[in-house]
Amino acid sequence: MSPRYIIRFIQAFFKRFKAIIVIGFVVGILFFLLVEFFLPLISFESERIGIVGRFTTDNMPEEISSKLSNGLTHIDNSGNVSPAIAKSWESPDGGKTWIFEINNSSTWDDGQKIKAADIDYQFSDATIEVINDNTIKFNLTSQFSAFPIIVSRPLFKKGLIGNGEWTVKNLSLSAGYIQKLVISNKDKSNNITHKITYKFYPSDDRLRLAFKLGQIDKIAKTQDSLDFESWKTVNISREIGYDNLVALFLNTDDEKFNNKSFRQNVAYAIDKSDFDGVRAIGPLSPNSWGYNSQVKQYALDLDKAKDAKDSKIIISTLPNLLKTAEKIKNDWEDAGIQSEIQVVTNVPENYQAFLATIDIPKDPDQYSLWHSTQTSTNISHLKNPRIDKLLEDGRTELDQETRKKIYLDFQRFLVEEVPAVFLYHPTYYTITRK
């Protein structure tokens, strides 16, 4: 093909399609200018966060569900209750009946007004009665002063439509469990849309691998940052989980641990000053309004631990607390106590000492953990009439100052009994890609 032919072909092409070419060129320039102008006005910020655990839409992590919606009430870090969807509440009969008034301005994210009939808490020991659109009554089977805290759990209607600042944009499930959850929030002050993609993994190892492969940008609340300490491309931040407690539960039905003095002996044999977290001295968070700082602390004292010398104890531990179990084993060996570690995935039916992390209830009421009738959750099998009575009184008393006195006594007597050695509030690390 000759150059002359090519030149004539190009000239003919431009002559025939000149108008289209000019219009396309102008539109392209205008589009570029519009994008340059409007892009700063319509900005997006996005991050991908990895979390370990199996969750359904009914039991999402609190840090996610609280972004998406509110409950009838709101609880602060100290356990104090304030209005949320409900503007007020009362109990006319000392805690057995609770009546909540819904705020007229409370709406779902789709713009619909929240009505009493929308409230769908499922309680096995309470019935719900809708009085009118703004009033709902809960009839409990027994008095329970901490009930306003129970209804702080975020509410949703069908489709995971909530009442919070964030909304669900995408949800992926497998066998009923959440695999991926995408939520977004528009900051009206600067017109920036924020998007968070949560991805869920069955283990810490899978989570860390996903981060290394670039599938997520952030690891939320891990207790081990060692893999990434030498990385120059990540930021590592730390916070103390005051709502969590690592404790060594002692089986009071065991032939060794049914003796209070022996339980105290082994508690004195553990150096509690060298764990990765803040020292815990009792079952409550130090942020709680009911916290007692004046309980027996069981600081390391080998002289007081000597009566446990030559004993042999099996420590059952969850996998993520193996390092803590090894430290306890070493401390006990220094005190002349022999021990063996067994890694388990659940609470063993028969154990001697069980190492676990528990979530501390927002209210000082710990009836389910320590009352003698709570056989499925009182894993230490504690049976103490005085502690039972304090727990019973604490959950039926409405006056907070009176309740505080009850729970101060409860902590003092519980720590004296040593159904568990309270060790520390763990450190959690957040690892973020730069």
The one-letter amino acid at 40:
P
CATH of the domain at 132: 3.90.76.10
CATH of the domain at 313: 3.10.105.10
How far is it, in rounded angstroms, from Cα 151 to Cα 39?
42
Comparing CA positions, the residue from 401, 412, 383 lying closest to residue 282 is 412
Instruction: Please check whether residue 317 lies inside any domain of the structure.
Output: yes
For residue 197 the two structure tokens come to: 């993609």
Question: Which uninterrupted H or E stretch holds 11?
Answer: helix 3-38
For residue 90 the two structure tokens come to: 């009362």
For residue 85 the two structure tokens come to: 């969807």
Judge if 378 and 256 occupy the same domain: yes
Cut 0.95: pTM above it: no
How far is it, in rounded angstroms, from Cα 50 to Cα 35?
33
For residue 37 the two structure tokens come to: 């102008």
How far is it, in rounded angstroms, from Cα 386 to Cα 364?
17
How far is it, in rounded angstroms, from Cα 379 to Cα 130?
38
356, 382 contact by CB (below 8 A):
no
Among the candidates 150, 181, 198, a domain finishes at: 150
pLDDT digit string (tens) for 111-121? Answer: 999 999 999 99
For 41, phi then psi, to 5°, come to -85, -25
54, 176 contact by CB (below 8 A):
no
How far is it, in rounded angstroms, from Cα 370 to Cα 23?
79
Judge if 234 and 259 occupy the same domain: no
Q: Which residues does the chain have with pLDDT short of 50?
A: 39, 41
Judge if 203 and 282 occupy the same domain: no
For 262, phi then psi, to 5°, come to -65, -40
- Long-range contacts at 263-266 (CB < 8 A, ≥ 24 apart): 263/417, 263/418, 263/419, 264/298, 264/304, 264/418, 265/304, 265/305, 265/306, 265/307, 265/308, 266/305, 266/308, 266/311, 266/313, 266/332, 266/337, 266/353, 266/421
87: containing domain: 70-150
Q: What is the pLDDT of residue 3?
A: 59
170, 153 contact by CB (below 8 A):
no
Cα-only R_g, the chain? 29
Judge if 309 and 348 occupy the same domain: yes
Total number of domains constituting the chain: 3
Instruction: Please check whether residue 420 lies inside any domain of the structure.
Output: yes
Instruction: Please check whether residue 372 lies inside any domain of the structure.
Output: yes
Q: What is the pLDDT of residue 43?
A: 60
Instruction: Please check whether residue 3 lies inside any domain of the structure.
Output: no
Among the candidates 241, 267, 291, a domain finishes at: 241
Judge if 230 and 255 occupy the same domain: no
pLDDT digit string (tens) for 239-297? Answer: 999 999 999 999 999 999 999 999 999 999 999 999 999 999 999 999 999 999 999 99
Judge if 251 and 397 occupy the same domain: yes
Tell whether the torsion through CA atoms of 373, 378, 381 and 384 is positive or negative: negative
pLDDT digit string (tens) for 9-61? Answer: 556 655 666 667 667 666 667 666 555 555 454 566 889 999 999 999 999 99
Instruction: Classify the phi-psi angles of 160: left when phi > 0, otherwise alpha if psi is within -120 to 50, otherwise beta.
Output: left
Judge if 277 and 197 occupy the same domain: no
The one-letter amino acid at 220:
A
Neighbouring C-beta atoms of residue 188, cutoff 10 Å: 7
Judge if 212 and 279 occupy the same domain: no
Question: Which uninterrupted H or E stretch holds 37?
Answer: helix 3-38
For residue 13 the two structure tokens come to: 């092409």
Instruction: Please check whether residue 62 lies inside any domain of the structure.
Output: no
Q: What is the pLDDT of residue 55?
A: 96
Comparing CA positions, the residue from 251, 292, 262, 263 lying closest to residue 410 is 292
Judge if 368 and 333 occupy the same domain: yes
Question: Which uninterrupted H or E stretch holds 263?
Answer: helix 260-268
How far is it, in rounded angstroms, from Cα 202 to Cα 200?
7
Q: What is the pLDDT of residue 19?
A: 66
Judge if 275 and 410 occupy the same domain: yes
Q: What is the pLDDT of residue 324?
A: 97
